[in-house]
Amino acid sequence: MAGFRRRGGGIVHRGSGVTVGRYDYDTPDGGSMVREVVHAHDGSVVVLPFTGSTVILLRQFRAAVEAVIYESPAGKRDVAGEDPADTARRECIEEAGFEPGRLTLLHRFYNTPGYSDEESWLYLAEDLTAVPADPQGPEETAAEVVELALPEALGLVAAGEIKDAKTIIALYALSRRLA
């Protein structure tokens, strides 16, 4: 860890959705620091359904920002032992109402490494078959499924209308793949 060494600390909070740790570190310059870390479950998946010309996004309320935002379907890896691709398939069906015939891993990334260890797997979902959605919870039940041409979605990013980082990463990863 480039001269950083954890010397103490531990879990200070266990909630239903997050666990928080507080840790003491020695620093390379001989000093010390304390950091609080949000420990994620087994990570999450992001899935970008793509028809060949359009992407499927959600407009969904998020309490943390108290707004309805554009998002890619996504979810926690909360089924023990489930492969990330299987989680992506499940989330695509639950949230967007599409079953992917093909999933391709585009990227893995840390969501917010400044304070969390959560890692996400980003999948492109293709060869889509419409199926009944199976929303989980009030936000998903009220969510609107939106189909946008990729250039239109990228325009919403440029205009500041799409602010969700995982969705921006997904759209740019797809754009790069198609270039």
Q: Which residues does the annotation mark as catalytic?
A: 139
Distance CA 165, CA 112 (A): 10
Name the token pair of 81.
């032992």
Give CA–CA dist 96/89, Å, rounded. Answer: 10
Burial 18-48 (b: 16+ CB within 10 A, else e): eeeeebebeeeeeeeeeeebbebeebbbbbb
Rounded distance between C-alpha atoms, residue 121 and residue 81, angstroms: 15
Distance CA 144, CA 71 (A): 10
